[in-house]
Amino acid sequence: MEHQKVLVLDFGGQYNQLIARRVRDLNVYCDLMPFGMTAEEIRKYDPIGIIFTGGPNSVYGENAPHISAEILRLGIPVLGICYGCQLIAYTLGGKVEHAETSEYGKRSFTFGKQSAISAGIPQTSICWMSHTDRVTQPPAGFETYASTESCPVAVFGNETEKIYGVQFHPEVVHSEYGNKLLENFLYRVCGAKGDWTTANFVAEQVAALKAKLGGKKVLCAMSGGVDSAVAAALVHRAAGDGLTCVFVDHGLLRKYEADEVMEVFRNQLGMNLIKADAGERFLGKLAGVSEPEQKRKIIGAEFIKVFESEAKKIGAVDFLVQGTIYPDVIESGKGNSAVIKSHHNVGGLPSVVDFKEIVEPLRDLFKDEVRRVGTELGLPDSVVLRQPFPGPGLAIRIMGEVTAEKLETLRDADYILRDEIAKAGLNREIWQYFAVITNSKTVGVQGDFRTYENVIALRAVTSVDAMTADWARIPYEILEKISVRIINEVKGANRIVYDVTSKPPATIEWE
Report CA torsion sign: 418, 420, 424, 430: negative
SS3 letters for 208-260? Answer: HHHHHHCCCCEEEEECCCHHHHHHHHHHHHHHHHHEEEEEEECCCCCCCHHHH
User: Looking at 64, 352, 466, 479, which residue binds ligand XMP (CB under 6 A)?
Assistant: 466
Q: Which is nearer to ligand XMP, 63 or 337 (CB)?
A: 337
How many residues make contact with ligand XMP (CB under 6 A)? Answer: 15
Minimum CB–partner distance for residue 194 and ligand XMP (Å): 32
Q: Does 250 contact ligand XMP by CB under 6 A? A: no
Known catalytic residue at 82: yes
The full length of the chain comes to 511
Stretch that binds ligand XMP, among 82-90, 279-287, 470-478, 502-510 (CB under 6 A): 502-510
C-beta separation of 497 from 458 below 8 A: yes
Q: Provide the pairing of β-strand 78-81 with 163-166.
A: parallel
Phi-psi region of 249 (alpha: psi -120 to 50; beta: other; left: phi over 0): beta
Q: Which is nearer to ligand XMP, 43 or 503 (CB)?
A: 503
Q: Does 508 contact ligand XMP by CB under 6 A? A: yes
Known catalytic residue at 66: no
Q: Dihedral through CA 418, CA 424, CA 427, CA 433, nearest 10?
A: -40
Q: Does 395 contact ligand XMP by CB under 6 A? A: no
Minimum CB–partner distance for residue 383 and ligand XMP (Å): 16
Instruction: For the chain, give percent helix, strand, coil, nearest 5.
Output: 35, 25, 40
Report the distance separating Cα 354 and Cα 308, nearest Å: 10
Do you find a cis peptide bond into 390, omega within 30 degrees of 0?
no
Minimum CB–partner distance for residue 376 and ligand XMP (Å): 24
Minimum CB–partner distance for residue 463 and ligand XMP (Å): 8
Stretch that binds ligand XMP, among 185-193, 248-256, 262-270, 389-397 (CB under 6 A): 389-397
Minimum CB–partner distance for residue 345 and ligand XMP (Å): 5
Residue 415's identity, in one-letter code, is Y
Q: Does 504 contact ligand XMP by CB under 6 A? A: no
User: Looking at 214, 388, 404, 489, which residue binds ligand XMP (CB under 6 A)?
Assistant: 388
CA angle (188, 194, 196) in 5-degree steps: 145
Report the distance separating Cα 399 and Cα 401, nearest Å: 7
Of 30, 127, 169, 310, the catalytic one is 169
Known catalytic residue at 171: yes
Q: Which of residues 307-366 bind ligand XMP (CB under 6 A)?
A: 340-341, 343-345
Q: Does 432 contact ligand XMP by CB under 6 A? A: yes
Catalytic residues: 82, 169, 171
| Chain contacts with ligand XMP (rule: CB under 6 A) | 340-341, 343-345, 388, 390-392, 432, 466, 503, 507-509
